[in-house]
Amino acid sequence: MVLFPRRITGLAKQLLELGALASALIAASAPAIAQRRDAGWWVVVGSVPSDPPERQQGDRQRVSAAARRCGLRTFNDDSAKFAGFRPGLNVFVVGPHASHSEAERTQAAARRCFPSAYVKQGRYLGE
């Protein structure tokens, strides 16, 4: 059995308390972080008609492969699930970004693979 001097055990107690406080702060900020992830500035790298649905998998594979070449990871869904987007399209986006300037930096990288990439503000509504 190893005995620790009182000073070290006091320090250990403080570290445990600090860890608990940090965990509580992270948990409390989780809803705000999740909310920020759904809204902001998106870089739209592609949009294609949602119909016919059979084509969506091929579109997703094609866009994802091109995005990987530019070091990007896209997210796609029906444009009707984005507040501020025109419905009826399957959109491929990168983001959201907290600021327009941050999105513009991503847009510059995206244009190497997607020359018509553009920035659009919106909020993802989800399922």
**pTM of the prediction?**
0.70
* Res. 95 pLDDT band, cuts 50 70 90: very high
What percentage of residues in the chain have a pLDDT greater than 90? Answer: 62
Mean pLDDT of the chain: 81
What local confidence, expressed as pLDDT, does residue 27 receive? 35
Confidence of residue 127 (pLDDT cuts 50, 70, 90): confident
CA dihedral 28, 32, 35, 39 (to 10 degrees): -160
**Local confidence band at 56 (pLDDT 50, 70, 90 cut-offs):** confident
Structural domain spans, the chain: 36-124
Residue scoring higher pLDDT (71 or 54): 71
What is the third-level CATH fold of 36-124?
A: Alpha-Beta Plaits (3.30.70)
Task: Tell me which of 10-14, 21-25, 75-79, 90-94 is least confident.
Answer: 21-25
Pair 66, 59: CB distance under 8 Å: no
Report the distance separating Cα 33 and Cα 29, nearest Å.
Answer: 6
Give the HSE-up count for residue 87: Cα atoms under 13 Å, Cβ half-sphere: 4
Helix (H) and strand (E) counts in the chain: 3, 5
